[in-house]
Chains A and B, each alone.
Chain A
Amino acid sequence: MTLLRAENLSLSINGTPILHDVDFSLDRGEILALTGESGSGKSMTAFATMGLTPKGTQIDGKLLFDGLNLPDLTEDAYCKLRGRRIGMVFQEPMTALNPVQSIGQQVMETILIHGDMSRQAAETRAKEILTRVNLPPERYPMSRFPHEMSGGQRQRVVIAMAMALRPALLIADEPTTALDVTTQAQILDLLKSLVKEEDMALLMITHDLAVVSGMADKLAVMNKGVIVETGPVQDVLSQQKHPYTRELFKASKHAADLPAQDCGAPILSVKDAIRDYPLPKPYPFAPAKAFRAVKGISFDIARGERVGLVGESGCGKSTLTRAILGLEPLQGGSVLFDGIDITQKRQNPQVFRKMQVVFQDPYGSFNPRHKVSRLITEPFHLWQDAPTGKAREDAIADVLEAVGLKPEDQHKHVHAFSGGQRQRIAIARALITQPDLVLFDEAVSALDVRVRAQILDLMADISRQRNLAWLFISHDLHVVRSITDRVLVMNGGQIVEDGPTEQIYSNPQNAYTRNLLDATPVLPDFTPA
């Protein structure tokens, strides 16, 4: 019997349509993945199932759970269902838990609120489920508070809360998107085994086809509020009947066609770089202690060389990036750019003109009050003989065309552009001073797969036109592979492996690198029929 079935489910918020005629079905013991890009309506489907839609939501069609039509339920009836029959896991474990309650209290609350068990029985059950999600109370006391746990551990607590009453249906909304790959692999394994053990159904919302292929039984591909294709995972991915599925699949597997490039003498040399952060003192006047985020790192980047820097969150890669840019001081070692020591102060603007950066967040990296022309010419500040007048106009037009935008776009404000276009503007800003080295700091991490593929192609294009070296910083191993000649793997403030990209991916020497590669979900090759 089908546990959850949507029939012609449509949803609009204050008159804006979000879902159109969505149909899917899910049985016990099954995992259905709902995939699509941001804005496709996949998360709203999950919230509609939970009955947690925003004010002004209008739902038409049927959403049947165990014979009940969910949109017909009263709020009281829904409250009895949530937590007991349907559980939910969210994307952001850092904020999903109440910071002022212990984890034990929060897990027990699920049980107690439904009044099924005595306090004592609830405590026993909470211990049991916490042990099941690998947080045994002997090692992780239930009196701990969320801030004393890592992101992965918090996500386990959220899963324990959702699973405490053995719901028939679990909904997971991008449960691993905010986590590192190794943690992601563990959480996915946990969810998979829970589905089998408890014979429950899992509705999983994810944007990552690689995760889907390794995890789900059934797949529904969503685009603009419509399910364009649905069926068993193997079938959907191998047949790819719908053009949108094909596009998504192609973009997920996309490898940029990076031209070979001659490398010259080193342009950037990092020597024994050390970066300490002072730790809060345990009591006033205590001797100062420090956390060493970067522990004596050395590497070179040659002129024209395209280098990747990968590592999980907290490994020190962002700190290192900021130190190279001169935004943070080093406590030891040096950074040489073109043979000039730039460690101490940013006293030499002409040097920094030759080194630019592209940041991650396409929405946060521009002052919303300025026009594009002003935004992309901001680095001219570093350039004593920056072009003026006509030459300046030409430079702006050239660089906008180089990143695939129109020269007229310079007169607009950034809010007129999409995320992908904004990232092009960010690249334009980095290129306008004709740099020798560009740092891409998670520059494609916030983008949807299709846009990401376009930006990677743009980078390959730029590489064809100029002899540009770059340092591409990312947590995503797949992306780094096609866009670099050489990779540095970072862990715990150190570089644990450094070598040609292909060699590292095919034959990693370091145990940590191997772990990282093993944990990264891979989308297998399906040849479309």
Chain B
Amino acid sequence: MKQLTLICGAVLTLVFFAVAGMSFLWTPEPVDIVNIPARLQTPNLTNWLGTDHFGRDILSMLMVGARTSLAVAIVAVVIGMGLGVPLGLIAAANSGSWLDEVISRTNDLIFAFPSLVIAILITAISGPGAINAIIAIGIFNIPVFARLSRAAALPLWKREFIMAARVAGKSKARISGEHILPNIANLLIVQGTIQFSLGILAEAGLSYVGLGAQPPIPSWGRMLAESQTMITLAPHVAIIPGCAIVLTVLGLNLLGDGLRDRLDPKLRSTRT
């Protein structure tokens, strides 16, 4: 059962990455060619997933859209991890100091903001676009990773093997890198997959309201927004991109769950 979760998650995620990667080399049809006569076709042999209201091939749009989702979500996770984890480790290493206080309070504050509202504010002020979507989503990944790594590192600092390292004269920074980070890496990987999936959802939401990647770059959220008025005429135009989002997010979540069971023996073992 547990194994199944991991395999399903890994397969779905791999498909997502493969599709996004392949779109650089090949798509069934170019995504920027309008072909009005062939609009709103249901899935058939030439257009496996049908065409949209401009007659563009939906499969090709999905493939290129996967690229956009992937890029936005990954960079946002990298921003969150890159800044959040060091902040969390610093806070934990100096727990109780003013530095810890400042980092933790700032985290709480950013957490208290409704993230999407601020994302809307940022994109609204500095203009819509993929870069601003990345920044908006990335900023909210920072406190997630900072909090997680602080919370995971704090009990480690009380463990005797860390005390032994301190007695051996190692600096806090070195202990953080050598002992703490490897011991919380599993948690970070799992959280990374979760934030990755949340990033895909957030990107879709921002694109849906027109604040994400701008035309002509295809994105899953905008495909949904454009299909909304056509839902009675051609439901598949709305259903297919939605399913792509669900499957991708589902795959990443299953992968995260599977990894958690795999990597964290504490959670895997049942109580005896």
Q: Which A residues have a C-beta under 8 Å from some C-beta of B?
A: 13, 54-55, 322, 325, 327, 346, 349, 352-353, 356-357, 359-361, 364-367, 369, 378-382, 426, 429
Q: Closest chain A residue to B272 by CB distance? A: A54
Residues of chain A within 8 A (CB-CB) of B164 are: 357, 359, 365-366, 378, 426, 429
Find the A residue at minimum CB distance from B170: A381
Within 8 A of A (CB), among B148-187: 159-161, 163-170, 179, 182-183
Which chain A residues border B270 with CB–CB below 8 Å? 55
CA gap between A429 and B166 in the complex, in Å:
13
A364 and B159 within 8 A (CB): yes
Q: Which residues on A sit within 8 Å (CB–CB) of B160? A: 359-361, 364-365
A365 to B271, CA, bound (A): 23
Interface pair B272/A379, CB less than 8 Å apart: no
Determine if A378 and B159 form an interchain contact, defined as CB atoms under 8 angstroms apart: no
| Contact across chains for A365 and B169 when beta carbons are under 8 A apart | no
Report the Cα distance A367→B163, complex, angstroms.
11
CB of A91, distance to nearest CB on chain B (Å): 16
Which residues of B line the A interface, CB within 8 A? 159-161, 163-170, 179, 182-183, 270-272
Residues in B whose Cβ lies below 8 Å from that of A322: 163
Residue of A whose beta carbon sits closest to that of B180: A367
Q: List 15 A-B contacts (CB under 8 A).
A: A54-B272, A325-B163, A327-B167, A346-B169, A361-B160, A364-B159, A364-B160, A364-B161, A365-B163, A369-B183, A378-B164, A378-B170, A380-B168, A381-B170, A382-B169
Contacts of A382 in B (CB 8 A): 168-169
- For the complex, give the distance between the alpha carbons of A356 and B167 in Å: 7
Report B32 CB to chain A, min CB distance, Å.
51
Within 8 Å CB of A360, what residues of B?
Answer: 160
User: Chain A nearest CB: distance from B150 CB in Å?
Assistant: 19
Roughly how many angstroms separate A1 CA and B271 CA in the complex, as a whole number?
37
Residue of chain A at shortest CB distance from B162: A367
Whether A367 lies near B167 (C-beta < 8 A) is: no
Chain A residues with CB under 8 Å of B183's CB are 367, 369
Is A366 touching B167 in the complex (CB atoms < 8 A)?
no
Contacts of B170 in A (CB 8 A): 378, 381
CB-CB under 8 A from B169, the residues of chain A are 346, 349, 352-353, 379, 381-382
Known pairs A54-B271, A359-B160; A369 contacts B182 (CB<8 A)? yes
Residue of B nearest to A13 (CB): B272
**A367, B160: Cα distance in complex, Å:** 9
Closest Cβ of chain B to A106, distance in Å, is: 22
Q: How far is the CA of A352 from the CA of B164 in the complex (A)?
A: 12
Contacts of A380 in B (CB 8 A): 168
Query: Which chain B residues border A349 with CB–CB below 8 Å?
Result: 169
What residues on B are CB-neighbors of A353 within 8 Å? 169
Cβ distance B166 to chain A, nearest Cβ, rounded Å? 6
Say yes or no: A379 contacts B161, CB within 8 Å. no
Contact B179 A379 (CB under 8 A): no
**What is the bound-complex CA distance between A13 and B272, given in angstroms?**
9
CB pair A381–B168 under 8 Å, yes or no, is: yes
A379 and B168 in contact, given A13-B272, A54-B271 (Cβ under 8 angstroms): yes
Q: Which residues of chain B come closer than 8 Å to A366, judged between CB atoms?
A: 161, 164
- What is the CB-to-nearest-CB distance from B20 to chain A, in angstroms, rounded to a whole number? 34
- B182 contact set on A, CB distance < 8 A: 369
Are B161 and A365 in contact, CB atoms less than 8 angstroms apart? yes
Closest Cβ of chain B to A28, distance in Å, is 33
Question: What's the least CB distance linking A529 to chain B, in Å?
Answer: 40
A109 to B183, CA, bound (A): 42
Minimum CB–CB distance for B179 against chain A, Å: 5
A352 and B161 contacting across the interface, CB-CB below 8 Å? no
Assuming the contacts A364-B159, A367-B183, asked whether A327 and B165 have C-beta atoms less than 8 A apart, the reply is no
Q: Which residue of B lies closest to A362 (CB)?
A: B160
Question: Are A352 and B272 in contact (CB-based, < 8 A)?
Answer: no
Residue in A closest to B182 when the chains form the complex, CB atoms:
A369
Smallest CB-CB A-B distances: 3 pairs: A365-B160, A359-B160, A382-B169
Separation of A426 and B183 alpha carbons in the complex (Å): 20
Closest chain-A Cβ to B187's Cβ sits at a distance in Å of 15
Residues of B within 8 A of A381 (CB): 168-170
Q: How far is the CA of A426 from the CA of B167 in the complex (A)?
A: 13
CA distance A342 to B71 in the complex (A): 53
Expressed in whole angstroms, the Cα–Cα distance for A54 and B269 within the complex equals 13
Task: List chain A residues, Cβ under 8 A from B166.
Answer: 325, 327
Query: What chain A residues lie within 8 Å of B161 (beta carbons)?
Result: 364-367
- Determine the distance from Cα of A381 to Cα of B169 in the docked complex, in whole angstroms: 7
Residues of B within 8 A of A378 (CB): 164-165, 168, 170
State A129–B142 Cα separation when bound (angstroms).
Answer: 54
Could you tell me the distance between the alpha carbons of A349 and B167 in the complex, rounded to whole angstroms? 10
- In the assembled complex, the CB of A11 is this many whole angstroms from the nearest CB of chain B, namely 13
- Give chain A residues whose Cβ lies under 8 Å from the Cβ of B272: 13, 54
Q: Please determine whether B271 and A379 come into contact, CB atoms closer than 8 angstroms.
A: no
Chain A residues near B168 (CB-CB < 8 A)? 378-382
- Give, as a whole number of angstroms, the nearest-CB distance from A354 to chain B: 12
In the bound complex, CA of A357 to CA of B167 (Å) = 8
A187 vs B160: C-alpha distance when bound (angstroms): 31
B-side contacts of A426, CB under 8 Å: 164
Closest to A367 in B: B161
Contact B179 A327 (CB under 8 A): no
CA distance A318 to B164 in the complex (A): 15
A287 shortest CB reach to chain B, Å: 18
Complex partner residue of B163 from A55, A352, A359, CB under 8 angstroms = A359
A13 to B165, CA, bound (A): 39
Min C-beta distance of B92 to chain A, whole Å: 15
Given contact pairs A54-B271, A360-B160, A367-B161, A352 touches B167 in the complex (Cβ within 8 A): yes
- Tell me the nearest residue of chain A to B174, going by C-beta: A381
**Assembly CA distance A338 to B18 (angstroms):** 65
Q: How far is the CB of B267 from chain A (nearest CB, A)?
A: 16
**Chain B residues with CB below 8 A from A55, complex form:** 270
Question: Assuming A367-B161, A379-B168, what are 9 further A-B pairs, CB within 8 angstroms?
Answer: A13-B272, A352-B167, A356-B167, A359-B160, A364-B160, A364-B161, A365-B160, A378-B170, A381-B168
How many angstroms between the C-alpha atoms of A379 and B161 in the bound complex? 12
CB closest chain-B residue, reference A346? B169
Residue on B nearest A369 in the bound complex, by CB: B182
Complex Cα gap A367–B175 (Å): 11
CB of A424, distance to nearest CB on chain B (Å): 15
Contacts of B159 in A (CB 8 A): 364-365
**In the complex the two chains form, what is the Cα distance from A496 to B34 in whole Å?**
91
Closest to A414 in B: B161
When C-beta atoms are compared, the residue in chain B nearest to A355 turns out to be B167
Query: When the two chains form their complex, are residues A367 and B271 in contact, meaning their CB atoms are under 8 A apart?
Result: no
Shortest Cβ distance from A93 into chain B, in angstroms?
20
A259 to B67, CA, bound (A): 74
